[in-house]
Amino acid sequence: MSKKKILLNAFNMNCIGHINHGLWTHPRDNSTQYKTLEYWTELAQILERGLFDGLFIADIVGVYDVYQNSIDVPLKESIQLPVNDPLLLVSAMAAVTRNLGFGLTANLTYEPPYLFARRMSTLDHLSRGRVGWNIVTGYLDSAAKAMGLSEQVEHDRRYDQADEYLEVLYKLWEGSWEDDAVLNDPQARVYAQPGKVHKVEHHGEFYQVEGYHLCEPSPQRTPVLFQAGSSERGLLFAGRHAECVFISGQNKASTKIQVDKVRASAVEAGRKPDDIKVFMGLNVIVGATEELAWRKHAEYLSYASAEAGVAHFSASTAIDFSQYELDEPIQYVKSNAIQSATKNLQNNDWTRRKLLDQHALGGRYITLVGSPEQVADELESWISATGLDGFNLTRIVTPESYVDFIDMVIPELQRRGSYKTEYAQGTLREKVFHGTARLPEQHTGSTYRP
């Protein structure tokens, strides 16, 4: 039997400081070029050379004003601010690649489903079926206020709203146009057949929609659905809707528990455990030898900002860590922000000093440092010990982190049979699942077909 192939996304954002804060000051980092098309088209081509499954683009609506109750540190260190729209990048990158997928984060809370459905269908057409959507509902009061609310919707209610949002989208993407609705017959003067395009009627608690989907069926119809919440309510949502789940692991034992929970949530929703692919965020610093890798690590550390990392974590947890003395124990409070992030504070006696140590590289993701063989050993070990399907590889110095990985680690993984040597045919869904372009039968979205 052939070895399980590791799936790989590049993890990025349409901004300067994404996960590893402070590294924008590194002389070889080009993230301040994020405003140019060339930055993105070159990156897409680099990733396609490495046979990456996708470029996963995070996004945030709102600013990180929890730390010191201000945006001073985020502005100085460019902590996901300024941040441009991720969806607008796709056309340019799709034009210079043929196989790379695009996992796009979009917050559903502030955009009507009818308009969002059209934007995603448009991108699915233009990319020939290469888009995924990372479903997020937001976790920042600053976003809610900017959008006219006094505070954000309560945590579990956000998921209730998301469930209904998805229902509307399935109706539009899966149910409005039949497969043979488009005839495109100039002789008969019929482009689309009356009777084969249906009006969506949705009268729910959050949304009222009466209308036809504006786009003809795109290759995947519903984009590949990503999700990243792992609270109890988040898992319920993932089990029902997600095809790919993104987690931030702490160690192998706890990651295995998380992965098992995700698969159990799929089974609970009448799906197969493998219907969800689970990716973990990861930093990799590789060198030709172990010594060179550690030297690079030390060099990166000298540019990183641990304080900026903690300021980011303040926003994720809604706790202002600047209020604490360096060695004062941090109080756990149940949060209306990211519960999976706050949970990590629950059982440990965390202090600001410990958080700063944890954020030495500017972020909280696990970091592998070593030679290509050592990194490949660890990647394989993570996959076999936890049941993960793949990784969302962060950038530390961009594009150097990706280039190093492609030049050194990928050939080693390929030699071991742990990584593909060519792309599979078809849409993003077909490539990742080796199945159909459309949602599989057991997915709830497929029940909305006419």
Ligand X SMILES: Cc1cc2nc3c(=O)[nH]c(=O)nc-3n(C[C@H](O)[C@H](O)[C@H](O)COP(=O)(O)O)c2cc1C
Using CB under 6 A as the binding rule, whether residue 246 contacts ligand X is answered as: yes
Report 309-338 residues binding ligand X (CB under 6 A).
338
Q: What are phi and psi of 227, to 5 degrees?
A: -155, 155
- Please name which of 68, 140, 133, 71 lies closest in space to residue 110, comparing C-alpha atoms: 140
Cα–Cα distance for residue pair 64/316, rounded to 1 Å: 8
Can you tell me which of 9, 142, 231, 265 binds ligand X, judged by CB under 6 A?
231
Can you tell me which of 228, 269, 310, 330 binds ligand X, judged by CB under 6 A?
228
Can you tell me which of 86, 234, 370, 387 binds ligand X, judged by CB under 6 A?
234
Cα–Cα distance for residue pair 94/45, rounded to 1 Å: 10
Stretch that binds ligand X, among 133-141, 189-197, 301-309, 418-426 (CB under 6 A): 133-141
Min dist CB 434 to ligand X, Å, is 25
3-state secondary structure of 126: helix
Using CB under 6 A as the binding rule, whether residue 217 contacts ligand X is answered as: no
Cα–Cα distance for residue pair 21/306, rounded to 1 Å: 7
Stretch that binds ligand X, among 200-208, 224-232, 307-315, 317-325 (CB under 6 A): 224-232
Using CB under 6 A as the binding rule, whether residue 107 contacts ligand X is answered as: yes
Cα–Cα distance for residue pair 358/394, rounded to 1 Å: 16
Q: Which is nearer to ligand X, 9 or 248 (CB)?
A: 248
Using CB under 6 A as the binding rule, whether residue 104 contacts ligand X is answered as: no
Using CB under 6 A as the binding rule, whether residue 137 contacts ligand X is answered as: yes
| Paired tokens of 19 | 């996960």
Site string for ligand X, 340-359 (x = CB under 6 A): x-------------------
Using CB under 6 A as the binding rule, whether residue 105 contacts ligand X is answered as: yes
Min dist CB 58 to ligand X, Å, is 3
Using CB under 6 A as the binding rule, whether residue 152 contacts ligand X is answered as: no
Task: Answer yes or no: are the C-beta atoms of 303 and 400 closer than 8 Å.
Answer: no
Q: Strand 208-211 relative to strand 200-203: parallel, antiparallel, unpaired?
A: antiparallel
Number of other residues whose CB lies within 10 A of the CB of residue 447: 12
Cα–Cα distance for residue pair 439/217, rounded to 1 Å: 13
Using CB under 6 A as the binding rule, whether residue 229 contacts ligand X is answered as: yes
Min dist CB 237 to ligand X, Å, is 8
- Please name which of 240, 239, 227 lies closest in space to residue 264, comparing C-alpha atoms: 239
Can you tell me which of 127, 339, 386, 401 binds ligand X, judged by CB under 6 A?
339
3-state secondary structure of 221: coil
Cα–Cα distance for residue pair 169/448, rounded to 1 Å: 10
Binding-residue total with ligand X (CB under 6 A): 21
Binding region for ligand X (CB under 6 A): 58-60, 105, 107, 136-139, 228-231, 234, 246-248, 281, 338-340
